[in-house]
Structure 1
Amino acid sequence: MLKALILLGLIAAFPAHADPSGTLRVIDADTVDIGGARVRLYGLDAPEMGQPCLLDGQSIDCGRWAADLVRARFEGQYARCITRDIDRYGRQVATCDVGGADIGQVIVAAGWAVAYRRYTMRYDLDEKAAAVAGRGLWASVMQDPETYRASRSIAPAAPDPACNIKGNISGNGRIYHRPGNRDYDRTVINEAQGERWFCSEAEARAAGWRAARN
Structure 2
Amino acid sequence: MRIKDLVMAALILGALWLLADLLSREEILEGHAFAVDGDTLDLAGTRVRLTGIDAPELRQECMRAGRPWACGEAARRVLQEALRAGPVTCAASRRDKYGRPLAVCRAGGVDLSEHMVQQGLAVAYLGRAYAGAEAEARAAGRGIWGASFQPPVDWRAAHPRGS
TM-score, L = length of structure 2: 0.80
Whether the 8 Å contact between 2:75 and 2:116 is mirrored in structure 1 is no
| Superposition RMSD in Å | 2.7
Give the unaligned 5+ runs of structure 2.
Answer: 1-7
Q: Residue 65 of structure 1: CA displacement?
A: 1.7
Give the unaligned 5+ runs of structure 1.
Answer: 154-187, 191-214
Question: Hey, what's the Cα distance between the residues in 2 that align with 1:106 and 1:84?
Answer: 20
| 1:145 equivalent in alignment to 2:152 | yes
Question: Hey, what's the Cα distance between the residues in 1 that align with 2:28 and 2:140?
Answer: 34
Q: Residue 44 of structure 1: CA displacement?
A: 0.3
Question: Hey, what's the Cα distance between the residues in 2 that align with 1:79 and 1:72?
Answer: 13
Question: Hey, what's the Cα distance between the residues in 1 that align with 2:64 and 2:103?
Answer: 30
Could you tell me the percent identity over the aligned residues?
A: 34
Equivalence for 2:133:
126
| 1:53 equivalent in alignment to 2:59 | no
Equivalence for 2:114:
105
Larger RCO, structure (CA 8 Å, separation 6 or more): 2
Q: Residue 51 of structure 1: CA displacement?
A: 1.2
Equivalence for 2:103:
94
Question: Hey, what's the Cα distance between the residues in 1 that align with 2:84 and 2:65?
Answer: 26
Amino acid at match of 2:138: A
Equivalence for 2:42:
33
Deviations 1:77-128 (A, max 9, x none): 2111111321111100011112221111111011111111xx2120001001
Whether the 8 Å contact between 1:55 and 1:139 is mirrored in structure 2 is yes
Count residues with an aligned counterpart. 152
Equivalence for 1:70:
79
Question: Hey, what's the Cα distance between the residues in 1 that align with 2:133 and 2:113?
Answer: 10
Higher helix share: 2
Which of residues 13, 17, 26 in structure 1 aligns to 2:21?
Answer: 13
Whether the 8 Å contact between 1:24 and 1:77 is mirrored in structure 2 is no
Question: Hey, what's the Cα distance between the residues in 2 that align with 1:54 and 1:33?
Answer: 28
Superposition pairs of residues 129-208 of structure 1, within 5 angstroms: 129-153=136-160
TM-score, L = length of structure 1: 0.62
The DSSP-based 3-state class of the residue aligned with 1:20 is strand
